[in-house]
Structure 1
Amino acid sequence: MRSEIGHPTARHYVAGGCEHGGGIGRLVGYVVDNAPARGCHYVTDTRGPRWSVMRSPPVLAVALAEMLVDRVLLPNRVHHLHIAGRGSTARKVILGTVARWTGCRHVVHLHDYDYAGDLIRRPAWQQWMIRRLFRGANHVIVLGRRDRSTVVDLLGVEPARVSILRNCVPDPGSRERDAPRAGAPVGIVFLGQLGTRKGVPELLDALASPVMDSGNWHATLAGDGPVEDYTERAAALGLTSRVSLPGWLGEADARALCAGADILVLPSHGEGFAMAVLEGLAHGLAVVTTRVGAHDEVLKDERSCLFVPVGDARALARALARLVADPALRTRLSEGGRTLFLSQFGIEGYVIRLEDLHRTIARTAAPAWRTV
């Protein structure tokens, strides 16, 4: 069960693995890379790079086989099921059922941006299976108080078996900002999937707003999704020379982009706790975002970020224009965000808390089936 220095081992189940698992995959990759002992955290793909009728079921079958092999060879290994809504839930219901049948100790880790909404739209038989998944786990991890309420109040998990563990990112290190070069534009960065949930349509509208005309800025919207469609939309708004859409960036390129930027903007309509916001805080960027998910549980308006209403392009434009025009405000938010990151979101503390939880679960018998 343990490595040579006493760390528990765990197998993480992530759709797409670390490479194609989106924000969840990035988080798990950070855990793997920053664990004190190598070989303590294993990652198993449950879907493949994208859902495919032909390819995804065999990938899930391999994941189930690995769980069964672990049960025989490493019976105390903790199986960590990372779950979101939609297809992710179906796969984790299957994995969770097999884990309970075979006596595998397992954690359900909820990452979804609106799991309560996804749950109530499902038929009664699916809701029953989901409740059984969550109630049958040794422990449930959530990102914030909203999700804790969903798990306790809607899914019926005992409060003592639910922990809040917010996301984290590695520390890129503090940076000494050089004095701005004469004429250098203020760098605005968006990181995430290009789409309506992340607020990209109103972000483009905000950047095209008249209040942004006089500022000296350049925005980079980095992420996958319909890049060509949004490139055409930016051109139609007259933003071709001021907005770049490079598509998805790998970790190194994303870090380089943040290192040279000044503002991180994420006008999202729904989040658990956005990895992009954490990247902005870690890099000392002035963050502009919305009060969704667990954001307003830890971020403070005018101190570690600027909050704007969801879907309000005018308010977003005013916030961005204000930051572009006011370097002192950017510095204040940068320092406040960086301080918040160092106090709550470092990867080292996250891994310690996670491994403490795994160690506790490894010593605990799997809970009995609960009726719904």
Structure 2
Amino acid sequence: MIRVLNVGPTAEQPGGMASVVAELADQNRLSAAPVNLRVVDSGGIGSPPRRGARFARALLGAVTARVDVAHLHVASRGSTWRKAAIARACSLRGLPYGIHLHGAGYAGFLSSSSPAGKRLVEHFFHGAAYVVVLGEPWARLVADELSVPRSRIHIVHNGVSGGAPPDVPWPADRRKRVVFLGEIGARKGVPELLRAFEQLDAVPDAELVLAGPPSPSDPDVVRQVEEAVRTRPDRIRYAGALARARSRDLLREAYLLALPSHAEGLPMVVVEAMSLGVPCVTTPVGAMEEAVTDGVNGVLVQPGNPDALAGQLRRLLDDVALRDAMARSAHDTWAQGFDARSMYEDLRALWAQAAG
């Protein structure tokens, strides 16, 4: 049995990276030929003392754990430096490691790094047995900016399990709920979404529900959400940060998912919405266009344009038949390549190859 050390967030933590870890653990339990998958928290969340202690345990695990390959979940800034240190520990003992790149802001991180810092990142990536990315834009970034050979770069789309048949036709007695799930901040396009929804008063049964943790760097955006809820409690609601199961329940009740982000990898929430037959109004950033085909299984608008966003939301809120057609197509797209089993099998093959 292959022994895999999975280093990153744990399944219980918030965020898309943790959702990937949860899906991998679930699929491993369901597999006819599971691996020995050990999940280790690398210390990305919590108070500084707790983060330091968790990182130390992850580093110790890289030095002492009896495993065949380490799979490192990587985002920008601190996540990169922690995993680079763990990768160094793996290399010193001859343990192969792979990189699973998630961070939506990695291009900006690389461009803002010093020459010495970028060389360290290049060394980290060059030492990997494989580099997993979420789509072609990230494959080009890793190849062009970090000079990793394309033969070692593997596109593995995020996947989720348990897709349900789409809710079509939309029940006439149910409100048309537009759902936003993600960090409440500017990068996710929350200010534009609030401004766009102000233009939808002509759709009487529409409501907006926002859910997700507040961005610590965007307190003004959080205040905008609170003000919108205070002034329009009949139309706008903030559900706060939700556990994975409750987030999925909220998506099941959604007419549309709205995610007007300025930067993304391939958001798990979009894939999860598609698995439930919920069309998404989103932006062509990151690998989004590899999942969402404009006008077929969802709608793409340019980021930072609340008027265009309002127009597309109104179009789908007014046309239930169009929304239902997109719902069926979204579910079909998920079934054809964005399910968790496909993601797990692709990664399992890389683990086996790296383990030799």
Structure 2: segments with no counterpart, 5+ residues: 216-220
The answer to whether the 8 A contact 2:279-2:326 is kept is yes
Checking the alignment, whether the CA contact within 8 Å between 2:164 and 2:276 is kept in structure 1 is yes
Matched, 1:345 2:338: yes
Q: Letter of the 1:186 partner, please give it.
A: K
Partner Cα distance (1:69, 1:136) in 2: 19
1:301 aligned to 294, 300, 311, which one? 294
In structure 1, distance between residues paired with 2:10 and 2:291: 28
| Structure 1 residue 149 displacement after superposition | 1.1
* Equivalent in 198, 202, 210 of residue 192 of structure 2: 202
Determine the structure 2 residue equivalent to 1:130.
Answer: 121
Partner in structure 2 of residue 47 of structure 1: 43
Equivalent pair of 1:266/1:276 in contact (CA under 8 Å) = no
Paired residue type of 1:46: S
Q: Residues 215 and 315 of structure 1: is their aligned pair in 2 closer, same or farther, counting only changes over 3 Å?
A: farther
Q: Report the CA distance between 1:261 and its aligned residue.
A: 1.5
> Conserved in 1, the CA contact under 8 Å of 2:134 and 2:157?
yes
Q: CA deviation at 1:233?
A: 2.9
Alignment partner of 2:157: what SS?
coil
Cα deviation for residue 59 of structure 1 reads: 1.2
Structure 1 residue 334 and structure 2 residue 327: aligned? yes
- Residue in 2 aligned with 1:232? 226
Q: Could you say what the CA RMSD is over the residues aligned between the two structures, in angstroms?
A: 1.7
Matches within 5 A, 1:127-166: 127-166=118-157
Structure 2 Cα separation of the partners of residues 171 and 58 of structure 1: 35
Conserved in 1, the CA contact under 8 Å of 2:122 and 2:147? yes
Unpaired runs of 5+ residues, structure 1, are: 3-7, 364-372
Partners of 1:198 and 1:266 within 8 A in 2? yes
| Deviations 1:201-260 (CA, angstroms, capped at 9, x unpaired) | 110111111x44334211211101158524423146x42211111111112211111112
Q: TM-score, normalised by structure 1?
A: 0.89
- AA aligned opposite 2:101: L
Q: Which residue pairs with 1:78 in the alignment?
A: 69
How many angstroms does 1:315 deviate by?
0.6
Corresponding residue for residue 30 of structure 1: 23
In the alignment, what sits opposite 2:206? Answer: 217
Deviation at 1:177, TM superposition (A): 3.9
TM-aligned CA deviation for residue 55 of structure 1 = 2.4
Count of residue correspondences:
348
The alignment-based identity, stated in percent, is: 32
Q: Secondary structure at the match of 2:238?
A: strand
Give the match's secondary structure for 1:62.
helix
CA–CA distance in 1 between the matches of 2:131 and 2:86?
15
Determine the structure 2 residue equivalent to 1:366. Answer: none
- 2-structure distance, mates of 1:347, 1:170: 5
The AA in structure 2 aligned to 1:217 is A
* 1:112-123 → structure 2 map (5 Å cutoff): 112-123=103-114
CA distance in 2, matches of 1:147, 1:335: 28
Counterpart among 10, 32, 44 of residue 4 in structure 2: 10
The AA in structure 2 aligned to 1:337 is A
CA distance in 1, matches of 2:253, 2:299: 20
User: Which residue is 1:58 aligned to?
Assistant: 53
Amino acid at match of 1:279: E
